[in-house]
Amino acid sequence: MNVHELPMILFTVIAQACVGTFIVLGVLQLAASARYGARTAERLTEPVVYAIGPALVLGLAVSTLHMNDITNTLNVFRHVGSSWLSREIVFGMAFAGLGFAYALVQWFKIGTFRLRQLLAGVTALAGIALVWSMSQIYYSLITVPAWHTPVVPFHFFATTLMLGALAVACALMITTVVRRRGATRRSTAEPADGGPEPVPAAETGRGGALATAVRARVSEINEPTTSIEWELTTRTVRWLALASAAVGVAILISYPLHVAALASDPAGAASAAVFSGAFFVARLVLLGLASVILAIFTYRAASRAALERPQVIVVLIAAAFVLAVVAELMGRSLHYASMIRIGI
């Protein structure tokens, strides 16, 4: 593992996973709303939205550890027209800000459903621009043969899509389990005589009213999953498993082509040697296990799972997501380790 570049490894992978999750959620919401209506689409996607923001903030915070003086961050606005690094930071801030705004209007149901979708679309575009800017920082360095290649933007967007698909699938299943447990607790807490549940004392003051509103909103989000929502969830998980498998296979195929292209050029031969050894093999094994093997088992399990027993799918997709994250962190470490310059 390239420990020196660990902040950038964490930032790029976390940010790309967040962008991928948001994009996959957007596509899912559009497809679900067209067939099942806005309420079902929001019931499926809304809980995942609120987890993206903290993850991206964590990635941005980690990236500042790479700087000797974080006050220099303010200088990025002076070079947006000429620097891909400046654009990366600007689009990262835009994606985070727009994502927060979307989560806010979604939570309070501000505006119409279509208006919120429009804001989500703008946020997704900012995320795509962020990933593209990231890739161009490295692609634009013609003195680094391993970076000045289309493989770099391909790998960055592949990470975005694969981790996004697995993250959404994992979140959908965890949401289902949380809703089931909440429903079970409520059913066991009902009065034995079948009478009405005791009403808590009214909370007074602005703080009490806000707390009551938040609890009511959380209860609404955690209402039990319906049979239609479960059918849509399992169908979505199957498609996301197939998508992650396809992206994983594409990444695996890209490596021999990338290494062969580097090895054929004397300037890139040293970089080609980085993609060998036990660490590289472990990265490929984890990638294949996470994105292909576990994804196939998830697809099969989701095809016949019952709402009352979702645990098998949860374990499979959670394991696939964790292993994929580890594999992509290892792959990004190899990316930075391949920075061998030519010329002066």
Q: What average pLDDT does range 126-153 have in this prediction?
A: 96
pLDDT interval class at 233 (50, 70, 90): very high
Span 3-40, pLDDT tens digits = 778 888 998 999 999 999 999 999 999 999 999 998 89
pLDDT of residue 77: 65
pLDDT value at 69 more than 60: no
pLDDT of residue 328: 97
Q: Residue 293 gets which letter from DSSP?
A: I
pLDDT interval class at 230 (50, 70, 90): very high
Q: How far apart are CA 167 and CA 232, in angstroms?
A: 17
> What percentage of the chain reaches a pLDDT higher than 90?
55
CA dihedral 114, 119, 120, 121 (to 10 degrees): 90
Is residue 138 a contact partner of residue 131, using CB atoms and an 8 Å limit? no
CATH of 3-185+221-337, one of 1.20.1630.10, 1.10.10.10, 1.10.760.10, 2.60.120.460: 1.20.1630.10
Q: pLDDT averaged over the chain? A: 86
Q: Residue 292 gets which letter from DSSP?
A: I
Higher pLDDT, 306 or 328: 328
Span 188-223, pLDDT tens digits = 665 555 554 554 555 556 667 777 877 888 888 889
pLDDT of residue 199: 47
pLDDT of residue 321: 94
Please tell me the number of Cα atoms within 13 Å of 106 on its side-chain side.
Answer: 25
Q: How many degrees, rounded to 5, is the angle at CA 108 between CA 102 and CA 111? A: 70
pLDDT of residue 123: 92
Phi-psi category of 340—alpha, beta or left, where left has phi over 0 and alpha has psi -120 to 50?
Answer: beta
pLDDT interval class at 283 (50, 70, 90): very high
pLDDT value at 134 more than 60: yes
pTM: 0.89
